[in-house]
Amino acid sequence: MAIYLGVIIIIMIYSLFGNVNKNSNTKKCYLIVCFGLLTVVAMLRKYTIGTDLNLFYAPTFEQIKYLDFSNLFEVEFEGGYVLINKIISLFCGDVQGLIVLTSCFIIPVYGVFIYKNSEKVEISTMLFVLLRIYFMTLNIIRQEIAVAIILIAYEYIKQHKNLKAIILILLATSMHTSAIICLALIPLYKIKFTRKTFLVLLIIAIIMMLVGNQIIMLFTNVFSSFGLSNRRGYENYFEIDRYGGQKVNIISIYTVAIAGLFFIIGYIVLIFNKRTNLKKNQDNNDFLVYLSYIYFIVTVLTLKIAIVNRLSYYVLPFTLILIPRVLSNIKKRINKTLLFVILFGIMFFTCIYILVYYADELYGIVPYEFFWK
């Protein structure tokens, strides 16, 4: 656990006192140091660090490396992910090769995403750690590969190069079937956030609360019938939840509350102000507020339907852009400082609390061990 606390403290100190946003070079240096440190910690971890890595991905890698290419699709994971495992096993027969290569892909992609999209890279980096996205990258590596590919696709969505974006989203789907829902990001990017769309999403959320399990099981059956997903691997989500066997506890309440707060401040600052007095080159504000609203809805739905939580991983990274955007558009320094201190104070102490008391239960990442031990 000490290694995570040390990394968090180093990033917080560098972020607060490093004069990070002086110019593009200081930003690049900051991101290389921070995400380089995070990547090294991830690369050097033992395969037992991360519940899903230990229980599913490491054993699957050992299975795949002995299979011929003709038999690969007997493995109950998406084809793209299975193929990547096989290719890695040809060059490195140890599961550590998988850990090193996936860490070197997933985490730097987040760093590049922040560099290209954030007004305040230090705020985004702190959020990456304090929202525990980093902890997820150590655990659910298959879906985090998909998320990283979606973040790359986002650059093409911004440029309205939809064909390239679609190809990348389909590639992400070959890693984790749930990524197919990210096709909705393409039309969503062009839609203004209005009361009508707010109500439409709210109605969809209510329907999901009422009959969501049945709808998701239907889609899971359809995908599995075409060999696009492992139905057995998803069934557990309908029987157990990811919060220690309780539907509502301090962690789930905090997650809903922080998601709701992100949406409220994003809406007030970026939308309610009638889009006036905002900085230039911020034409995706509606898109960011949409995703913060969807993230809030998903966190609420997760209290009833655990599998929905998987969808939040695709929209959560965009809060890394939203919050710096909000802070950069608050004119009064005292208001900006007050919001920062309250918001990040809450997230910092909550992150430490979860790391100390729940990190093993939620992510399986403590105690940390180096791979050579």
Tokens of 83: 């193929």
Mean pLDDT of 61-73: 90
Radius of gyration of the chain from its Cα atoms, rounded to whole angstroms:
20
pLDDT interval class at 242 (50, 70, 90): very low
What pLDDT digit, counting tens, does each position of 125-169 carry? Answer: 999 999 999 999 999 999 999 999 999 999 999 999 999 999 999
The predicted pLDDT at position 351 comes to: 94
Q: Where are the domains of the chain?
A: 191-329
276 pLDDT higher than 60: no
Tokens of 238: 């309908």
The predicted pLDDT at position 303 comes to: 83
What pLDDT digit, counting tens, does each position of 360-369 carry? Answer: 888 999 999 9
Note every long-range contact of 144-147, with CB atoms under 8 Å and residues 24 or more positions apart, other chains counting. 144/102, 144/106, 144/313, 145/81, 145/84, 145/102, 145/105, 145/106, 145/172, 145/175, 145/176, 146/172, 146/173, 146/175, 146/176, 146/178, 146/179, 146/314, 147/106, 147/172, 147/179, 147/313, 147/314, 147/317
| CB-CB neighbours of 250 under 10 Å | 14
224 pLDDT higher than 80: no
Check if the beta carbon of residue 162 is closer than 8 Å to that of residue 180: no
The predicted pLDDT at position 198 comes to: 84
The predicted pLDDT at position 229 comes to: 53
Q: How far apart are the C-alpha atoms of 311 and 77, rounded to whole Å?
A: 18
Q: Greater confidence, 113 or 234?
A: 113
Tokens of 263: 């949406």
Q: What is the pTM of this model?
A: 0.90
pLDDT interval class at 259 (50, 70, 90): very high
pLDDT interval class at 241 (50, 70, 90): very low
Q: How far apart are the C-alpha atoms of 331 and 278, rounded to whole Å?
A: 10
pLDDT interval class at 208 (50, 70, 90): confident
pLDDT interval class at 222 (50, 70, 90): low
Tokens of 145: 């590969």
Cis-peptide, bond into residue 367, ω within 30° of zero: yes
Q: How far apart are the C-alpha atoms of 357 and 116, rounded to whole Å?
A: 35
The predicted pLDDT at position 98 comes to: 97
Q: How far apart are the C-alpha atoms of 118 and 111, rounded to whole Å?
A: 10
pLDDT-wise least confident of 11-20, 79-88, 220-229: 220-229
pLDDT interval class at 261 (50, 70, 90): very high
Q: How far apart are the C-alpha atoms of 147 and 84, rounded to whole Å?
A: 16
The predicted pLDDT at position 212 comes to: 61
The predicted pLDDT at position 118 comes to: 95
Q: What is the 3-state secondary structure (H, E, C) of the chain?
A: CHHHHHHHHHHHHHHHHCCHHHCHHHHHHHHHHHHHHHHHHHHCECCCCCHHHHHHHHHHHHHHCCCCHHHHHHCCCCHHHHHHHHHHHHHCCCHHHHHHHHHHHHHHHHHHHHHHHCCCHHHHHHHHHHCCHHHHHCCCHHHHHHHHHHHHHHHHHHCCCHHHHHHHHHHHHCCCHHHHHHHHHHHHCCCCCCHHHHHHHHHHHHHHHHHHHHHHHHHHHHHHHCCCCCHHHHHHHHCCCCCCCCCCCHHHHHHHHHHHHHHHHHHHHHHHCCCCCCCCCCCCHHHHHHHHHHHHHHHHHHCCCHHHHHHHHHHHHHHHHHHHHHHHCCCCHHHHHHHHHHHHHHHHHHHHHHHHHCHHHHCCCCCCCECCC
pLDDT-wise least confident of 195-199, 208-212, 248-252: 208-212
243 pLDDT higher than 50: no
**Chain-wide mean pLDDT for the chain?**
88
CA 341 to chain centre: 24
pLDDT interval class at 213 (50, 70, 90): low
What pLDDT digit, counting tens, does each position of 282-341 carry? Answer: 678 999 999 999 999 999 888 877 778 888 999 999 999 999 999 998 888 999 999 999
